[in-house]
Structure 1
Amino acid sequence: MERHIAINDFDYPLPDERIAKFPLAERSASKLLVYRGGEISERRFADIGDVLPAGQLIVFNNTKVIRARIIMHKPSGARIEVFCLEPHAPADYERAFAVTGTCEWSCIVGNRKKWKEGYVEINFDYEGAAVWLRAWIVEERGRECTVRFEWSAPMTFGQLLEHLGRIPIPPYLNRDSEEIDYTRYQTVYSKFEGSVAAPTAGLHFTPELLESLRGRGFDFAEVTLHVGAGTFLPVKDEDAAQHPMHTEHFEIRRDTVRQLLAKWGAVTAVGTTSVRTLESLAALAWRIHTTGSPDAGRVIGQWELYDIPTDYTGRTALGELLGWMEREGEERLKAATQIMITPLGYTFRIVRNIITNFHQPKSTLLLLVSAYVGDDWRRIYDYALGHDFRFLSYGDSSLLMRD
């Protein structure tokens, strides 16, 4: 089936002054645009419990942003930035952060032309001893490289990043990371390290707001999707259907699938990363339905969900996935997804409502919003631009409800 999406139809004027360069002093003080069945109104994010339908299961992405940018130098003195994207050897995130001595990562290298051979390094003190971190390029793959790290410090790679790395704030902020970013470019419920970009819809939640929502009868669930740098890649093709979606790794627990099934029809996803994780479950379930296995080692393809019959409901999918996990004794399921949610007739099977920030023009994230609200995305963004909403990662929020 041929697919075509004119990306210029998803453009809008975004003046630089409307991009929030820093977070507000209080997370939940941000503005909240409420879209409900075509009607648009405005609240404070702290009031989200007043407008969310009662009894919702709110699903958060509990990934944690790592200090993925490491500034290193060649022995000659040339400055090289190594941006760690995802682990290569070992490839599993948990093992990659726990390893000592050596590991390999897929990276983007800044000032690559100055690093043609040899190693780059950092010399530093740790617990009173002189130690070092060195890196070599093992393989080049387009804009990415496989980089081997070796270090003499008695630290895990996770500890090393925490000690030497810098938080990778979005490139469109056009500034270096500052002290405030180390806490505020992180959700208060982040747990599992692996992202190089924050799931920013969750940045508005505070411990007090979460406690208030729980007290009002809302249920919570968590998924883990490690956000990759590909989330910032612009759509360069005039036909967005030709844009190659990046791969992101996710994990879901059996108890979470059970919660989703019990609350099917009342699931609110916090952020596009939660949306992509939840909707990807239908692809795993359809594989079980057709082959008897989720084949979780095979990446969920960009258009795989479009080939599933529309009468295959989210409730059926969750039931099949839960049944398989129970039969196989699987407490958690790891997979990877490249799904691209677009207005080309996409069927939302799991997600009922979406909490999300305001996205860049001509981006895959804006296509996802359009897939959910249709052409009303223009009314939503016109309203936000006309009512002083702040845009992008540190900006204000929206609650999108079709009903």
Structure 2
Amino acid sequence: MNPSLHLSQFDYELPPELIAQTPASQRAGSRLLHLDARGALHDRNFIDLPGLLRPGDLLVFNDTRVIKARLAGRKESGGKVEVLVERITRADTALAHVRASKSPKPGSRLVLAEQFTVDVRGRQGELFELVFPSSVLELLERHGATPLPPYIEHAAGRQDDERYQTVYAREPGAVAAPTAGLHFDQAMLDRLAAQGVARAFVTLHVGAGTFQPVRTENLSEHVMHAERYSVPPATIELLRATRAAGGRVVAVGTTSVRALESAARQAPGPGPLEGDTRLFITPGYEFSWVDALITNFHLPQSTLLMLVSALAGMEPIRRAYAHAVQSRYRFFSYGDAMFIEKPEQ
């Protein structure tokens, strides 16, 4: 990593009213800011995306599914707690964030949703290992709430259960949505397929760490949170075929980028390329697979803003974000989108 990179280089002023609190009325109804390969900016709508893609391009989607990971409860001894499941480790165990006035001790019990009790087995860093009385997934689906990001101010409702989930989600395990994919409806997917744009899937289970602030000014001292990913053999074959035919690999979301670029650092084998990734992509990074990116607008000083700056360049991203603020684009998970092309060499 470039040792001269500092956190303050990735700051920008964002009026709070530009943080989208609800999704657009239609999935494909958002605006789209196009940063082209020459560094020029174009104001478009997401419905215009097919015109920016070519036959032979490959869209790579993250098919993770957001689980209802948030549970309210209390200690068996009294005192309120809020549990956010970060990762399901086995059918009946999970690692979770637990907010309470006093942290629960190993051996204690929590009563969740006034419906069932979990045992606190121990801690792994900031996370608590919890043992559930039966399937974690089934209990969350029945009693949990969709874990909206901290900057969305309303409690999750029925609309969020549908719209904070991509239409192609199939692998449960995320506690935050891969939000670039929220703009795609089935009609858009069908339209792209009809014009010869291929699609492939990776899985990266987005963790709550995606919202954690970077706490070191010198970025070389930052340690990324771990997220589980898998890239199947069929996707690897499509990536190679696309490149061989001269097509572009277009990642849908920063999570797809991290999965693809993490897999590129693994020795190929007969099965999927998978594991935990702590890949931290900052300016100066050499991309192995990604030629273009569809993404939302990211928080100031966030690792995701650093990732898009690595792809497009720091100065073009500064210009793009200044333009987006001036033009009143909607920001973050429920906001508008960008289409970023890697700069011409």
8 Å Cα contact 2:88/2:95 also seen in 1: yes
Q: Deviations over 1:241-293 (max 9, x none)?
A: 21110111111211111000000251000000000111112210xxx3xxxxx
Per the alignment, residue 18 of structure 2 pairs with: 18
8 Å Cα contact 1:66/1:193 also seen in 2: yes
Whichever structure has more helix as a proportion of its residues is 1
Judged with a 3 Å threshold, the aligned counterparts in structure 2 of structure 1 residues 123 and 179 are, in CA distance, closer, same or farther, namely closer
Q: Deviations over 1:68-112 (max 9, x none)?
A: 111122345532111110123x2xxxxx3xxxxxx2211100115
Note if 1:85 corresponds to 2:90. Answer: no
Q: Deviations over 1:160-193 (max 9, x none)?
A: 1100011101011133212211000000000000
TM-score (structure 1 length as normaliser):
0.80
Judged with a 3 Å threshold, the aligned counterparts in structure 2 of structure 1 residues 281 and 118 are, in CA distance, closer, same or farther, namely closer
In 1, the alpha carbon distance for the partners of 2:319 and 2:55 equals 26
Judged with a 3 Å threshold, the aligned counterparts in structure 2 of structure 1 residues 371 and 71 are, in CA distance, closer, same or farther, namely same
Note if 1:144 corresponds to 2:127. Answer: yes
- The 5 A counterparts of 1:203-282 are 203-264=182-243, 266-282=248-264
8 Å Cα contact 2:263/2:274 also seen in 1: no
Aligned pair partner of 2:279 in 335, 339, 345:
339
- What is the CA-CA distance between 1:52 and the residue it aligns to? 2.0
Which letter does structure 2 place at the counterpart of 1:199?
P
Structure 2: 5+ residue runs without aligned partners? none
- What is the CA-CA distance between 1:141 and the residue it aligns to? 3.5
Note if 1:383 corresponds to 2:323. Answer: yes
Which letter does structure 2 place at the counterpart of 1:87?
I
8 Å Cα contact 2:261/2:289 also seen in 1: yes
8 Å Cα contact 2:29/2:45 also seen in 1: yes
Judged with a 3 Å threshold, the aligned counterparts in structure 2 of structure 1 residues 194 and 281 are, in CA distance, closer, same or farther, namely same
Structure 1 stretches of 4+ with a deviation exceeding 6 A read none
Judged with a 3 Å threshold, the aligned counterparts in structure 2 of structure 1 residues 33 and 243 are, in CA distance, closer, same or farther, namely same
Structure 1: 5+ residue runs without aligned partners? 91-95, 97-102, 125-131, 289-320
8 Å Cα contact 2:34/2:43 also seen in 1: yes
8 Å Cα contact 1:78/1:114 also seen in 2: no
Per the alignment, residue 93 of structure 1 pairs with: none
In 2, the alpha carbon distance for the partners of 1:397 and 1:180 equals 20
In 2, the alpha carbon distance for the partners of 1:4 and 1:168 equals 36
Q: Deviations over 1:89-137 (max 9, x none)?
A: x2xxxxx3xxxxxx2211100115174563122476xxxxxxx421122
The structure showing larger relative contact order (alpha-carbon pairs under 8 Å, at least 6 residues apart) is 2
In 2, the alpha carbon distance for the partners of 1:243 and 1:123 equals 36
In 1, the alpha carbon distance for the partners of 2:5 and 2:113 equals 50
Per the alignment, residue 311 of structure 2 pairs with: 372
In 1, the alpha carbon distance for the partners of 2:240 and 2:45 equals 31
8 Å Cα contact 1:80/1:115 also seen in 2: no
Judged with a 3 Å threshold, the aligned counterparts in structure 2 of structure 1 residues 189 and 275 are, in CA distance, closer, same or farther, namely same
TM-score (structure 2 length as normaliser):
0.93
Q: Secondary structure at the match of 2:287?
A: coil
Note if 1:199 corresponds to 2:178. Answer: yes
Per the alignment, residue 127 of structure 1 pairs with: none
Note if 1:53 corresponds to 2:54. Answer: yes
Per the alignment, residue 356 of structure 1 pairs with: 295
8 Å Cα contact 2:88/2:136 also seen in 1: no
- The 5 A counterparts of 1:54-73 are 54-73=55-74
Q: Secondary structure at the match of 1:146?
A: strand
Matched residue count: 337
In 2, the alpha carbon distance for the partners of 1:213 and 1:350 equals 21
Q: Indicate the percent of aligned positions where both proteins have the same amino acid.
A: 41
Aligned pair partner of 2:95 in 92, 99, 106:
106
In 1, the alpha carbon distance for the partners of 2:112 and 2:43 equals 49
8 Å Cα contact 2:224/2:278 also seen in 1: yes
In 2, the alpha carbon distance for the partners of 1:123 and 1:10 equals 40
Per the alignment, residue 144 of structure 2 pairs with: 165
8 Å Cα contact 2:298/2:331 also seen in 1: yes
In 1, the alpha carbon distance for the partners of 2:20 and 2:168 equals 22
Over the aligned positions, Cα root-mean-square deviation in angstroms equals: 1.7
For the pair shown, which has the larger CA radius of gyration, 1 or 2? Answer: 1
8 Å Cα contact 1:70/1:164 also seen in 2: yes
Q: Secondary structure at the match of 1:189?
A: coil
Which letter does structure 1 place at the counterpart of 2:49?
I
Judged with a 3 Å threshold, the aligned counterparts in structure 2 of structure 1 residues 112 and 201 are, in CA distance, closer, same or farther, namely same
Which letter does structure 1 place at the counterpart of 2:282?
T
8 Å Cα contact 1:358/1:391 also seen in 2: yes
Q: Secondary structure at the match of 2:262?
A: helix
In 1, the alpha carbon distance for the partners of 2:337 and 2:112 equals 40
In 1, the alpha carbon distance for the partners of 2:250 and 2:226 equals 23
- What is the CA-CA distance between 1:57 and the residue it aligns to? 0.4
8 Å Cα contact 2:249/2:292 also seen in 1: yes
